Structure 1
């Protein structure tokens, strides 16, 4: 059976660089970093005092005030970004077959800050006094559920919970659903918000976060002085559509999704496999799924977290897959600007990768100052480049050994 083609027709985001696609992409093109002091709680007794927070977010711009109060922050981000993406796609949902519209939105952790608040309330007042909205606000699938409810999307609704690979899994899973004929359209991506004492404290105690107080030296993927990632928050949502379905309504097309793969290191619950073996295998599988030769890839939006093991292993994986071409293609980590959005990372990076192909602009890895012999590829340090490439790859890795990779193709109409 001939596989159906799948294109991207809508984009939406809320992230530390901006509260819309236009605002965020303009900031990324300027190389602006969204890292700053944590404002969501008092960090006086905390080792880590920096994060990449969403700024000036008003959920009531997209969500009814009463409904917003029943949503955790990560769900508010998802609904706001989905509303932007659906509007951007120009969808007329009143006349669409909503049973053929899927929702696939990841969250790695869900409503952790709500969990903390209600736990403290339960300790103080008794657990029968916690909010009746506690469970539906905290469960990780609720971003997907609330988006589907808001827009009446009655196809498959699911939430891949694969840690930091989740957003990319969501895009890839949605792509395969459409390509294989189960749905004609999908709203997909990721949402996360767990900048809280427990969320940050948990990553701090395992020495995953960079403890520096300098925002310009905190999220520095591939830099020899990197010392961990910077936790971020936000959402990135894409509307994927079967090609003829999109053409029939005259939709604007950003890019095409042509390949996807997901696998597991089966090695360690937090560390990547030596030499990035699992990530390399996942990239090869995605290229095979796309029917694309490694030499065709012109840009990689890397996972690039800023931890020592991730960046060195990911670099080794790219070399293993691409050979000599690894030194010719462009690689960058937009986490240098957004921080690490955990389950939302792949969604936001999917938005950026689609825009990179659409606009012919490859974003930088900002604040990359000190070269590392283990990380010797072209990471577009500090300055993005105007360059048209035909294929781009976005990869994500997650605790538990999860790997996910999506291959995008420039749309030529």
Structure 2
């Protein structure tokens, strides 16, 4: 189980200048490598190293930082190519696609830089690090973090990224720990807590009272606060005075911190509830939802700015740490299917909140109905994964039949 621990560095003025100069030199070298890689046919790290290693060494970088710079550029081009292949920049031949392909990747002068264990070593007992810089090795560079973060750092593995943000330096350390086995065996589960994610209601579970869902993690208060923030940002941008720009600078990332805090509160509550009731958690996978759905103009900003993937990841790692089984399921048709009879019809949802089945006539809150479907999917997916049946040649796909979720027949091609 991988996590990222963020610690804040506490450098002296001399150390601060050394760290800043190090980032600027590393990113200047990265831009030089990126220009060469833009026209190169082979962008693998070793191929680039043959051409630019001597130049990076001559610019003042030591051997291992130069290798990290080359790897950073190679990874950036690999990520860009993956986005191009997946169509995230439009189809080949489009203006946006051509614009991305025609420009070399550029790194900010204070962009983050990865350091491996040869360039950066941790002293957990004294809360210090030793890091390579252009001014030499800084051996007693202090950092501050919470006690639980300090405990996690003992399991640190791999690279650590030096990040400069809002005038402060941070280290992002990768923590790789073994996923603990579920504390609740499959046979002892009392059920599954289905979680339906949304905009009007951030999260609706199977245990929520359908008659009082507006009071449970309602998106109304969140939306109202975010609209106030957006209105204030727009007003300050229109004024464009020096004081207004200072105000905008102090409010930067405020929206991101707010969304992250809400997601932490929500995920912590859901995991505690599942742990208390002896249930597993079934949560829907909303990856790619921005490309799949079409919404009214008023809701697009809400959909595109809320961190659904972050919430799912927080639920997953917190549940794993607590020993609660988690299943991430495909949410397809869970909002259109009746949890009682299995009838699937888009017309069964005449409004956002109401679900009225066209098959059996059952009616109730639409999000609660979707949560019940997600819980059933999580149960069957978990059972299928725990079974000792021979491995299937294709992934298991579930469908509704006579009110039950069953395995769909194989597709004959």
* TM-score scaled by length of structure 1: 0.24
Q: Which has the higher contact order (CA 8 A, sep 6+)?
A: 1
Look at both structures and tell me which one has the larger radius of gyration over its CA atoms: 2
TM-score (norm 2): 0.24
Q: Choose between structure 1 and 2: higher helix proportion.
A: 2
